[in-house]
Structure 1
Amino acid sequence: MCCWTRLRSSLTPYYRAWQIQCDGEFPQCNWCKHHNLACTFNRFRANSDTGHRVIVVAPDTPKAVIPNIADGPQDLLARPSSQVADSTRSSRIGNTFLNNVTYLRGHHVFSNEGQRWIESQVGESVNFDKLFSMELRWLKPLRSYTVPGADAPAGPQLPSRVNVEKYVQIYGSSSQGLVFPVISQPVFGKTLDLAYSHLQLPGSNSAKSCVYAFLALISLFGMDDNIHGAMDCQSYASVAQSFQIPVIEEMTVDGLQTLIMLVQVQYFLGDLQSAAATLSIATRLLYTLEAHTLPANKPSAPYDKGDMRCHLRDLFWLCYSFDKDICLRTGQPPCINDAHCDLTMPPDYVRLHDLNLQQSLPQVDEHLVPLFPWDLRLSMLKSKVYEDLYTAHALQQSVTELLSSIRGLDEALEQWRLSLPIEFRPTLYFSRETPVSANLNTMAVILRLGYYHCLTVIHQASTRCQILEADLAGPRLDGIASSTKLTITASRSTLLYLHKVLPVVNPECSWYGFTDQR
């Protein structure tokens, strides 16, 4: 079954989950576990005697702004406000993402004050139980819950080397391989030599872990049909994770590839906290292997994926891109400090990036410069967004300084948008009437969603102004109002775009749509 079919089929049963009586087993009741549903048993409840509620105070950190309600069932909003308040007395502690969302006027969006403010603006109340249930449908953390002391289940065996080599060829010639160049076909041959050797050679454990992580990625992207039979992404990823200690000890390129592929799997499954933790280890390997720098006094050579230095730089840019995106989604500091890295892009990157965008699927070979997720220029801008708006130093800015930072970042984002080829340039906003091409490719979807997400994160910072100063007036108040409108417009554009594009999008685009919607 392809990736698109699996993701699409997972959307339909969400409305059934809340009808089932769960037995309260942790982490899932038996019924939900066997039906692959988010368990709706509510273990955390308010103290009815004291009336105390557990309220999570949200830091001023960037998060995805608009919950997933724009195109949901009509009865999602139809619920008395008293019932909403009662239902939200239950702490959603397990969902760190939603519990840290801050939205407009400084209110926590799921606090009583936030709910009352939303109700006053839209005239209706949100059924948060259904909202959380919908969100959990595509939040599938890659974690194994086992009884302490119990033997871990045996993982899958590696398929034949011939089958793995077929997967390598498929991935290397695909759009995913162009956007996520985590393996190099010439280099990966040596990885297979180590992984399939009967001898326990130095680096063998990292090589085996790398192959398992690669198979997990192949399964996630739906490339595993008709070669090795059914493949379980989570089983392969769990085996790859079990090699983490030797991966850290051996410090090899194979180990680095393993960690980056696990980051991809965790990211696409919505487990951003695990992805961030894995990425922090990968960053240390990057530094050890000196992938964050370029050789001094060496002339720029044409791109060659078979050259280990080029491949290491590809791995650096993959880590960099995920790091800067994850820090904006979790609100936690990035792992990679730009000041310690050489951020020179691959030779002729901008021209080749625009050229590759305009081809449905370029002829992929060792000399084709990868596209990388989002666009390296946008990833560097994300780094500046976090640095200027969400670091500890940035949180001490005055209202005037904050609005100035927002304005400068907005201008930089607009310059990036205008630099893209017009046929792939995101529109300033997306409405129900905006046409969508039936021949969308992966990068066209990624760039538009990335633009709206970055715009939201930039202007969402203006909500702090209403906490910093209560006597706002004049131009500063106008600036805050403008940022608020842009935040709402960008968030609405994301939802409307996803609603329209998912029925016609190419299968390989679907994973990013769900991840970005969080």
Structure 2
Amino acid sequence: MRPKRACDVCYKRKVHSEPPQRRNPRFANTDYKIQCVIENVDEPCEWCSHHGLSCTFDRETQKKSNNVQAIVSDVQELLRRVVHLENALSQIQYQGQLSDQTSPRSMPSMTPTSTTSKPQTRDIGDVARYLGQNWYHKGIPILSERGRDWIRLKTGQDAHFERFHMFGSGCNFPALPLTNLSYDELHKLPSRQHSESCLDAFFRSSFSLFYPVLDRALVQETLEMAYQDRIDSSFTRSQVSAKACILAALCMITRTVRPRDASKYLQGDPPVDQARSLLVLVSREACIEGLQATLMLQICKISIGEWKDASTLHSTACHMVCSLGGHLKQRETCDSSSVASDRKIRHIRTLFWMSYVFDKDISLRSGQPPLLTEDYCDLAIPEGYASRYGCQPPSGQGTSTFGRLAPYFPVDLGLSHVKEKTCRLLYSPKSFTIDDTQILLHIRHLDIDLESWRSSIPVKYRPKLSITSGGPLLDSEMDSLQRIICLHLQLEYHYLVTAIHTAVRRCGAAYAQAPNLPDDLHSVFHSSSDLSLEASRSTLTLLKGHINLLEEEAFWRVAFYPPVAAMSLFMNILIHPIDPRGQVDLGILASAISMFQNTSVQSLTADDIEYLQEMNNFVAELVRLGNLAIWNARKEENRESRDRE
């Protein structure tokens, strides 16, 4: 009996065997009736009989494959290929963006970003979030599309400030997990000896005075908890928080204090992602270790110019410090058994002031609503803070520390309070609904508050109203720490003068189309404008004349001030291109391009060098546009002169 399958001829023609009773009558008159139909087992099929062919069944029977297994195998192989391709694509994009945006610190094999590379386009809002919200001309915000049109009108060319990397983080990497570490790797710490060495370097440095995020006694408890063995094959929430705190401390200390032996353990980048991943695991409950870790990671982000990430961490820190009661001054007890508890309360209060200072800086720069305000926080100055300028630092670096000195914080607390009022009165949504008279009144009141603060500072440290080239700034008997304090007070004072008095250019929106302002408004307008311009000139003069101070101080702590001062002078050049003072300001801007060239490279990190390059490019762009504005104005003036003749 022949098998129930097509003959060799029909098989080659891919014609299937079909019994006659199953043939469809609808195809009776078509070619489909010629199939491998077998009437009798001893006779050839209809197709072979019809064509006179030999009907044989000699081919070997093929084994049927397991279709289900084949499909599963194909799908798995396809998935593997998709995953491989996605990973390869992500890696290519990630490396490509690193080559354009990140510093050599992140990829040691790469050099700083070339000036000829094509930068990633950013939104103009990123520039405003960095340079501030105070740049206007007759009510027109300069860092907007309308402002861009006005600059084009004055210079004849477009301004592309958003292309510079210094403005915001701007790193749009693929959405990848923070770490790909295993459980054991995620919880792994460096040797305790290394951690203790780094912490000791922190407390020996003046950095611990400006950023008192750690307490020497409390951090010992954190070390004990972090290096305890796991319980029941896992770590407790307290242990994870302590580990995150220690890792964040290593990140901050390696970046800022830079102890000599730090690089021996940290091969590549500091473990920022590892610390953040641990924080995510314990983020549901606030604790002092988690708050410290968050603030230290925020400091790391600020130090490398990643402002957006720093702002995100800041909001977390503010929530945590309020959850711990740091925004309210709590009464301490006299019970000797609660000494440790009182110390923790005082330190949480210190962490509140750290968060408060950061909050005012972020709000004034970016325009974001403040998260810690005087209406909901107790702003009573810490005990002993008033004596901070009278304390003498330790004379030697042997076993001495700065721990017994009152903390200075990144910014003077009184000045931060003036910043809060400035944000509320000049740059809050409500402030944009008031008229010109009210704006001028607010500027006057804030100027009085600022002068009151300046007068409260001891004469030795008191910021000067103006700084001239070659003029004395520092007392010759000041030590390194005192010089750094004096430098920061002076820069902060001039920055706030600029932030307050440039708001005067919000006035005059009703006269946007008029060539000149009314005389009364013009007089007040120029009074504030002159103050802000002199503050900006003083900032650049200070940094140029005392560049040696940067060898004693971290570059990233002063890098924000030159672009703001340069922007102020640039605005004045555009508004008054024919004014002789405008040409002088253009010369100041041109000299600012190379002001940091004399800084010792050894005192700069790779991130600092890249930022410095971007800042120079930005100021060079301001000089180019300022030159065009002056040239166009003079050309127009000559044309009008010829027309009158």
TM-score range, shorter chain: 0.7 to 0.9
Structure 1 residues 346 and 151 mapped into 2: Cα distance closer, same or farther (>3 Å)?
closer
Match of residue 145 from structure 1: 173
Match of 2:282? 247
Size of the aligned set, in residue pairs, is 444
Give how far 1:513 is off. Answer: 0.9
For 2:176 and 2:393, locate their aligned partners in 1 and report how far apart those are by CA, in whole Å: 53
Please state whether the residue corresponding to 1:448 is helix, strand or coil: helix
Q: Which amino acid aligns with 1:37?
A: T
In the TM superposition, residue 246 of structure 1 has moved relative to its aligned partner by: 2.4
- Per the alignment, in what secondary structure is the counterpart of residue 229 of structure 2? coil
Structure 1 pair 418/119, CA: closer, same or farther in 2 (3 Å)? Answer: farther
- What residue number does 1:452 align with? 494
Residue of structure 1 equivalent to 2:113:
37
Higher helix share: 2
Aligned mate of 1:170, from 192, 201, 215: 201
2:327 touches 2:378 (CA, 8 Å); kept in 1?
yes
SS of equivalent residue, structure 2 residue 237: coil
Secondary structure, aligned partner of 1:424: coil
1:465-476 matches, cutoff 5 A: 465-467=507-509, 472-476=517-521
Root mean square deviation of aligned Cα: 3.8
Letter in 2 for 1:375: D
Deviation at 1:434, TM superposition (A): 2.6
Q: CA deviation at 1:333?
A: 1.1
1:181 deviates by 0.6
- Name the CA distance, whole Å, in 1 between partners of 2:356 and 2:178: 38
Q: Distance in 1 between matches of 2:552 and 2:278?
A: 31
Match of 2:573 in 1: none
Matched, 1:310 2:346: yes
Q: Does 1:426 align with 2:463?
A: yes
Give the superposition deviation at 1:466.
Answer: 2.0
* Rounded Cα–Cα distance in structure 2 between residues aligned with 1:361 and 1:109: 50
* Equivalent residue for 1:206, pick from 241, 248, 251: 241
TM-score, length of structure 2 as denominator length: 0.61
1:192 aligned partner: 223
| CA distance in 1: counterparts of 2:341 and 2:410, whole angstroms | 17
Q: Encode CA deviations 1:284-343: one digit per residue, 9 max, x unaligned.
A: 1111110111225969x9x99981111111101000011111111111111112211111
Name the counterpart of 1:479. Answer: 524
| CA positional deviation for 1:185 | 0.9
Q: Which residue of 1 aligns with 2:135?
A: 103
* Pairing 1:223-262 to 2, within 5 Å after superposition: 223-226=258-261, 229=264, 231=266, 234-262=269-297
Structure 1 segment 356-395 matched on structure 2, within 5 A: 356=391, 364=401, 366-395=403-432
AA matched with 2:97: P
Choose from 359, 369, 377 the match for 1:333: 369
Question: 2 CA distance for matches of 1:269 and 1:242?
Answer: 20
CA contact (8 A) 1:24 1:41 kept: no
Residues 443-468 of structure 1 deviation map (CA, whole Å, 9 limit, x = unaligned) = 22211111111111111211111225
After TM superposition, give the deviation of residue 240 of structure 1 in Å.
1.5
- Tell me, in whole angstroms, the C-alpha distance in 2 between the residues paired with 1:276 and 1:408: 29
Structure 1 residues 31 and 393, CA gap change in structure 2 (3 angstroms): closer
Query: Which consecutive residues of structure 2, in runs of 5 or more, have no partner in the other structure?
Result: 1-92, 564-645
Amino acid at match of 2:313: T
SS of match in other structure, 2:548: coil
Identify the residue that residue 292 of structure 1 maps to in structure 2. Answer: 327
After alignment, is 471-480 or 158-167 more displaced? 471-480
Change (3 A) 1:308 1:450: same
The residue aligned with 1:27 is: 97
CA shift for structure 1 position 258: 0.6
Alpha-carbon deviation of 1:180? 0.9
Task: Tell me what 1:463 maps to.
Answer: 505
Q: Residues of 2 paired with 1:236 and 1:270: CA distance?
A: 17
- 1:272 to partner: Cα distance: 2.1
The structure whose Rg is larger is: 2
Structure number with the bigger relative contact order (C-alpha 8 A, sep ≥ 6) is: 1
Cα offset, 1:170, TM superposition: 1.7
Cα distance change, pair 38–92 in 1 and its aligned pair in 2 (3 A) = farther
- Asked if structure 2 preserves the Cα contact closer than 8 Å seen for 1:426 and 1:451, the reply is yes
User: Kindly tell me: are residues 108 and 429 of structure 1, through their superposed partners in 2, closer, same or farther at Cα, counting changes over 3 Å?
Assistant: same
Q: Specify the SS of the correspondent of 1:401.
A: helix
Tell me if structure 1 keeps the 8 A contact 2:422–2:500. yes
